[in-house]
């Protein structure tokens, strides 16, 4: 995996995966608001997938993996290596229930969450923009107190780079803004990074996912990952979206 080089925004080239970091002023979308409209809850265990429609979440749905709290909801998941090749990686996530395409309009996505429990091993996944081909066009992960963005380039290349840090209270507030020409801004706790997406991916149907997930070398022993959300938002402007199959 290649690391991202931070260069001036005007020097960005499609497909390079390069980024530029700047300080961004807080936006109104950072205001606390946990809105599950347009989201379903996906509770994925090694051999089962449970999908809870957003309407049930708004009716105070609760279980071992999803618990309403005063400001939003706490999501938890096992952090354990799948027991076999065909088993799924456990995770609990809020996933958009409408697909959209990068090229069709502007998307503004974001969340504020507290890191309640990190896995002892492996990597914690904070958010993804995932295509119907199960490819992450953007993945935000936690490396210590650093938030790392990873995205695909051309010819199978992968790019990654630090885009922000967890604050001293264990909180991550992030916003993602995509534009139809293929640009993307990622803002993590006030630090902004800019990317250009491979043009061949702009027509792919995608959706935004965020929640509690560990990946990588998480081990086989019992472990947990948990986050508490106080803000969740997904706004689309001019995007033609399609319901999930």
Q: Which CATH number does the domain housing residue 225 bear?
A: 2.60.120.200
User: Where does the chain have alpha helices with state H?
Assistant: 54-57
Cβ distance 203 to 103 under 8 Å? yes
Q: Which two tokens stand for residue 57?
A: 């979440």
pLDDT, one tens digit for every residue, the chain (245 residues): 444 433 333 224 333 344 444 333 344 455 569 999 999 999 987 677 899 998 898 888 999 899 999 999 999 998 877 666 666 778 899 999 999 999 999 999 999 999 999 988 788 999 999 998 889 999 999 999 999 999 997 777 888 999 999 999 999 999 999 999 999 999 999 999 999 999 999 999 999 999 999 886 655 666 889 999 999 999 999 855 554 43
| Residue corresponding to tokens 């993945």 | 139
**Reduced to 3 DSSP states, what percent helix, strand and coil does the chain have, rounded to the nearest 5?**
5, 55, 40
CA proximity to 118, closest of 68, 170, 46: 170
Whole-number Å distance between alpha carbons of 177 and 179: 7
> ∠ at Cα 83 (79, 86), nearest 5°?
110
The structural domain count of the chain equals 1
Cβ distance 14 to 198 under 8 Å? yes
Structural domain boundaries, residue 30: 2-243
Q: What is the pTM of this model?
A: 0.83
């Amino acid at each position: 995996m290649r690391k991202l080089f931070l260069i001036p925004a005007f020097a960005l080239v499609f497909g390079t995966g390069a980024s530029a970091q700047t300080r961004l002023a807080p936006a109104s979308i950072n205001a606390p608001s946990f809105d599950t409209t347009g989201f379903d809850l996906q509770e994925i265990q090694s051999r089962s997938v449970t999908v809870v429609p957003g309407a049930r979440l708004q009716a105070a749905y609760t279980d071992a993996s999803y618990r309403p709290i005063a400001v939003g909801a706490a999501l938890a998941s096992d952090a354990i290596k799948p027991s076999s090749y065909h088993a799924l990686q456990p995770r609990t996530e809020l996933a958009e229930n409408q697909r959209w395409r990068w090229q069709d309009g502007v998307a503004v996505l974001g969340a504020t969450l507290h890191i309640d429990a990190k896995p002892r091993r492996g990597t914690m996944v904070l958010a993804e923009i995932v295509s119907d081909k199960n490819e992450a066009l953007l993945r935000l992960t936690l490396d210590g107190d650093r938030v790392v963005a990873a995205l695909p380039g051309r010819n199978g290349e992968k790019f990654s780079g630090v885009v922000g840090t967890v604050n001293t209270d264990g909180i991550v507030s992030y916003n993602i803004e995509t534009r139809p020409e293929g640009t993307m801004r990622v803002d993590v706790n006030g630090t902004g990074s800019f990317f250009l997406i491979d043009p061949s991916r702009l027509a792919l149907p995608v959706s935004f996912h965020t929640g509690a997930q560990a990946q990588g070398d998480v081990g086989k022993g019992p472990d947990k990952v948990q986050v508490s959300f106080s803000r969740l938002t997904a706004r689309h402007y001019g995007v033609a979206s399609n319901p999930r199959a």
